[in-house]
Amino acid sequence: MSDQDIHRLTMPKWGLTMTSGTVVKWLREEGDEVAQGDELVEVETEKIASAVEASSAGVLQRCIANEGDTVSVGGLLGVIAGAGIPSEQIDRVVEKFAVAFVPDETAISAAGPSTQRVVVGERSLRYLKLGDNESPISENPPALLLHGFGGDLNNWLFNIEPLSAGHSVYALDLPGHGESSRDVGDGSIGAFAAAVIGFMDAMDIHAAHLVGHSFGGAVATHIALAEPGRVTSISLIASAGLGPEINTGFIDGFVAAERRGALRDELGKLFADPALVTRRLVDDVLKFKRIDGVTEALRQTATGLVTDGLQAPGYRNRLHEIAAPIQVIWGQADGIIPVSHAAGLAGSVRTTIIPRAGHMPMMEAAGEVNSALADFMDRATG
Amino acid sequence: MARTITYQQAINEALDQEMANDPSVILMGEDIVGGSGADGEMDAWGGPLGITKGLYTKYGDRVMDTPITESAFIGAAVGAAASGLRPVAELMFSDFMGVCFDQIYNQAAKFRYMFGGKAETPVVIRTMYGAGIRAAAQHSQSPYSIFTHVPGLKVIVPSNPYDAKGLLIQAIRDNDPVVCFEHKSLYQSEGGVPEESYTIPFGEANVVREGGDVTIIALGLMVNRSLEAAEALAADGIECEVIDPRTTSPLDDETILESVENTGRAVIVDEASPRCNMATDISALIAQQAFGALEAPIEMVTPPHTPVPFAGSLEDLYVPDATKIETAVRRVAGYSR
């Protein structure tokens, strides 16, 4: 059997600034039979903890990295190979890798691509742009990523880079969020949609693949209805606007949380596995929430999202008006907007339900979400 | 938008933004206008350290140079606070607190209590502390524990530019007297600070580094030294959790205890003299409330009980450094009954 049948399990690069990860725990043991997609080892970065999945089926022949080890991106974690492959052959592959492996210095030295700002009307908006695949623009429109309530462009940290392989990708801080201006107007979905359209104008984006998460999904849907010509495709992840229920306890609790403990509890509701919420993540959100004007902006935004305990935007029965292809992605264990909102949509809507993910599937199951997005955008562009 | 600025710039920005935000905020201190009271160019420098530079030009008489008499201008600041202003007084060296202690300790700290909650004293006293610059025994002390001892005062000890801005803005908006201790050697340190105004609530420690083996609790300049020690120790497989309480009054008991419950081993680093300082205070807290979790005696890394020496060689020995912290951590990490 050739070395091709020996598969290396390496430290993934989750997000733009990740240079290394720490092995928290092996979830499977040496000698275990594994299927492609099985979670094998839990890894923690300064931003998030997650599991590394098997890239191929076989037997987990070696667990190279020890629990507690910090391994550079691309470094060897373990080896998966068929049951019949001799041990010496595996050792040779491991040895060869150890000699040849050089951590990607550019990845390690770079602090990641830097964000930019653009003034649209009275507002300054922060955005991140990656990839340069938009010319000619009409043939390959860029992707525009819209985060959810209380989020910012960093919510896409596991997605921006992979998606930029095929498209230019813009990730935007919506008004009142991240480092964009605090003014959210009347806080309505329409006001946010107008701001995004203003951003597209300023960036000379004629049309885009809109990718909206949660609140950002409602904004994307609103744009598709109001300005159909600007939308090439629309991907809605755990989107608002597709049903009445929403966890208002989370919205209220998130807005009210002033201390680490309270905020950690609220952020935990976003994930199927609340242990994914690292102290760093909590600290980053706290730093944002403590800026003057943020709480007021969030409160105003919440009025556009929730009325009398139910979702204010309701686009479910209007999706058929949208000519652009629509896909919906949802985590089975979503604790904020129930996964049932993904059911019973118009037949043309492509639906992907991700088991073991909560309200943030693009973080918790980044690989699956990235392939769903890339594949869908490619098809939409033809 | 966050960008990198110095601790000194962060303090200037906090003062500037709060003066713009609230007309009742005024500044008082010795030579803080920066023209030495002479007829020539005002605001040429901006205080002995340049921290208030630019503010006189912007806010005119709301930045007040005072005579060199701490008892008078700290008293005036306390009185102005009690009658509706929000003064930020700069007391050049915290070592000079002695002459104005009554105004702080027996007046400002007591008004709310003595007047049945009807009086508020929103005064901030910013002051410089710490050893290491050959300033000798009368200009080098770390007396934050003395003020922590006084009910009615709040005490903050920011260790980095981000905390300096957020804690100072919170202090200015706070309705009680707050003493802000700024280490001389931190003014030129750099860090990421948002341009916008923000606050950090008092009584919330910052977990600067996570680790499961030993908890290090440190304040001000000692936070950086502890991190330095922690990095060296990590190379030998000893993972330290470094906690910066950020404020000594109120003190975030919970974060400290939670960490020690997890590690079972604690080292407290304090630049103040060793008797009745933050190290003894936090040590008592841990011994009383996390006794069951302790797997080694609590270590305290402090200077010796002596005035700060002037001789450079002695001063360097006096102030706790990374090596001393490392030694203490190794001692508790290696301890077995």
User: Interface pTM (ipTM) of the complex?
Assistant: 0.87
- Alpha-carbon gap: B309 to the closest alpha carbon of chain A (Å): 40
Q: Which spans in A203-316 are helix H?
A: 215-226, 248-256, 260-268, 279-289, 294-305
User: How close are the terminal C-alpha atoms of chain A, in Å?
Assistant: 40
* Same structural domain, B170 and B234: no
Residues B238-263: b if buried by 16+ CB within 10 A, e if exposed: bbbbbbbbbbbbebbbebbbbbbebb
Q: Is residue B279 part of a domain?
A: yes
All structural domains of chain A with their residue ranges: 3-109, 116-381
Q: Is residue B248 part of a domain?
A: yes
Q: Which residues of A touch B204 (CB under 8 A)?
A: 259-260
User: E strands of B82-213, at which residues?
Assistant: 86-93, 124-129, 154-156, 178-183, 190-194, 206-209
pLDDT at A326: 97
pLDDT at A282: 93
Searching chain B, which residue's CA lies closest to the CA of residue A124?
A: B1
- Is the bond preceding residue A338 a cis peptide, omega within 30 degrees? no
Say yes or no for a CB contact (<8 Å) between A291 and B194: yes
* Same structural domain, B115 and B242: no
Give the angle subtended at the CA of B188 by the CAs of B187 and B193, to the nearest 5°: 85
Q: Which residues of A touch B196 (CB under 8 A)?
A: 291-293
Burial class (CB in 10 A: 0-12, 13-18, 19+), B305: exposed
A380 close to A324: Cβ distance less than 8 angstroms: yes
pLDDT at A99: 75
- Name every residue in A having a CB less than 8 A away from some CB of B: 117, 126, 179, 258-260, 279, 287, 290-293
- Element spanning B77, H or E: helix B70-82
pLDDT tens readout for residues B66-105: 999 999 999 999 999 999 999 999 999 999 999 999 999 9
Q: Which residues of B touch A287 (CB under 8 A)?
A: 162, 194, 198
Which of 2.20.28.160, 3.40.640.10, 2.40.33.20, 2.40.50.100 would CATH assign to domain A3-109?
A: 2.40.50.100
Which neighbouring-strand residues pair with B243? Answer: B207, B217
* Same structural domain, B74 and B150: yes
- Element spanning B266, H or E: strand B266-269
A292 closest CB neighbour out of B1, B2, B196: B196
Say yes or no for a CB contact (<8 Å) between A292 and B1: no
- R_g over Cα of chain A: 21
Q: Which residues of B are catalytic?
A: 139
* Same structural domain, B173 and B212: no
Q: What SS3 state is found at A333?
A: coil
pLDDT at A382: 65
* Same structural domain, B47 and B155: yes
Q: Which residues of A touch B166 (CB under 8 A)?
A: 290
* Same structural domain, B311 and B169: no
- Alpha-carbon gap: A273 to the closest alpha carbon of chain B (Å): 20
Searching chain B, which residue's CA lies closest to the CA of residue A46?
A: B210
* Same structural domain, B292 and B240: yes
B19 close to B25: Cβ distance less than 8 angstroms: yes
A317 close to A242: Cβ distance less than 8 angstroms: no
Q: Which residues of B touch A126 (CB under 8 A)?
A: 1
Which neighbouring-strand residues pair with A117? Answer: A126
Say yes or no for a CB contact (<8 Å) between A291 and B197: yes
**How far apart are alpha carbons A341 and A323 in whole angstroms?**
20
Say yes or no for a CB contact (<8 Å) between B197 and A292: yes
- Side chain identity at residue B143, one-letter code: P
* Same structural domain, B76 and B172: yes
Say yes or no for a CB contact (<8 Å) between B210 and A290: no
Q: What's the whole-number average pLDDT of chain B?
A: 94
**How far apart are alpha carbons A272 and A331 in whole angstroms?**
8
Q: Is residue B266 part of a domain?
A: yes
Sign of the four-CA dihedral A258, A260, A261, A264: positive
Q: Which of A134, A121, A154, A139 is nearest to A204 (CA)?
A: A134
B199 closest CB neighbour out of A260, A279, A290: A290
Residues with Cβ within 8 Å of B258's Cβ and at least 6 positions away in sequence, in order, are: none
- Residue B43: pLDDT over 80: no
B2–chain A Cβ distance below 8 A for any pair: yes
**How far apart are alpha carbons B56 and A83 in whole angstroms?**
78
B23–chain A Cβ distance below 8 A for any pair: no
User: E strands of A147-198, at which residues?
Assistant: 169-172
- Alpha-carbon gap: A288 to the closest alpha carbon of chain B (Å): 9
pLDDT at A113: 72
B24–chain A Cβ distance below 8 A for any pair: no
Say yes or no for a CB contact (<8 Å) between A290 and B1: no
Searching chain B, which residue's CA lies closest to the CA of residue A291?
A: B198
**How far apart are alpha carbons A183 and B285 in whole angstroms?**
45
- Distance of alpha carbon A324 from the chain centroid: 22
- Residue B39: pLDDT over 70: no
B205 close to B150: Cβ distance less than 8 angstroms: no
**Which of B:153-172 have CB within 8 Å of A?**
162, 166
Q: Which spans in B205-302 are helix H?
A: 221-234, 253-263, 278-289
Domain limit, last residue, from B162, B194, B226? B194
Substitution target from B198, B238, B258 for chain A, most A beta carbons within 10 A: B198
Residues A164-182: b if buried by 16+ CB within 10 A, e if exposed: bebbbbbbbbbbbbbbbbb
B241 close to B216: Cβ distance less than 8 angstroms: yes
**How far apart are alpha carbons B84 and B80 in whole angstroms?**
6
Q: How many CB atoms lie within 10 A of CB B299?
A: 22
- Side chain identity at residue B226, one-letter code: S
* Same structural domain, B232 and B163: no
Q: Which of B78, B73, B88 is nearest to B19 (CA)?
A: B88
Provide the CATH number for the domain around residue B323.
3.40.50.920
A291 closest CB neighbour out of B198, B207, B210: B198
* Same structural domain, B32 and B165: yes
Q: Which residues of B touch A67 (CB under 8 A)?
A: none
Say yes or no for a CB contact (<8 Å) between B204 and A279: no
B289–chain A Cβ distance below 8 A for any pair: no
Number of domains composing chain B? 2
Domain limit, last residue, from B142, B162, B194? B194
Q: Which spans in B108-220 are helix H?
A: 111-114, 144-148, 161-173
* Same structural domain, B32 and B88: yes
Burial class (CB in 10 A: 0-12, 13-18, 19+), A348: exposed
Q: Which residues of B touch A292 (CB under 8 A)?
A: 196-199
Say yes or no for a CB contact (<8 Å) between B207 and A290: no
- % pLDDT > 70, chain B: 96
pLDDT at B35: 57
The pair of three-digit structure tokens given for residue A215, joined into one six-digit string: 């609140």
In which residue ranges of chain A is pLDDT below 70?
1-4, 15-17, 47, 103-112, 133-138, 382
Say yes or no for a CB contact (<8 Å) between A287 and B1: no
Burial class (CB in 10 A: 0-12, 13-18, 19+), B45: middle
Say yes or no for a CB contact (<8 Å) between A259 and B204: yes
Q: Which residues form the domain of B154? A: 2-194
- Alpha-carbon gap: A130 to the closest alpha carbon of chain B (Å): 20
* Same structural domain, B137 and B219: no
Q: Is residue B200 part of a domain?
A: no
pLDDT at B42: 58
- Alpha-carbon gap: B35 to the closest alpha carbon of chain A (Å): 34
Number of cross-chain residue pairs from A and B with Cβ atoms under 8 Å apart: 27
Q: Secondary structure of chain B: what % helix, strand, coil (to 5)?
A: 40, 20, 40
pLDDT at A75: 87
Give the angle subtended at the CA of B187 by the CAs of B183 and B191, to the nearest 5°: 115
pLDDT at B1: 59
**How far apart are alpha carbons A152 and A100 in whole angstroms?**
38
- Side chain identity at residue A268, one-letter code: G
**Which of B:205-224 have CB within 8 Å of A?**
207, 210
Q: Which residues of A touch B198 (CB under 8 A)?
A: 287, 290-292
- A116-381 is classed CATH 3.40.50.300: no
Q: Give the distance between the most distant pair of CA atoms in chain B.
A: 70
Searching chain B, which residue's CA lies closest to the CA of residue A115?
A: B1
Q: How many CB atoms lie within 10 A of CB A247?
A: 18
Say yes or no for a CB contact (<8 Å) between A292 and B210: no
Provide the CATH number for the domain around residue B163.
3.40.50.970
**How far apart are alpha carbons B73 and B95 in whole angstroms?**
16
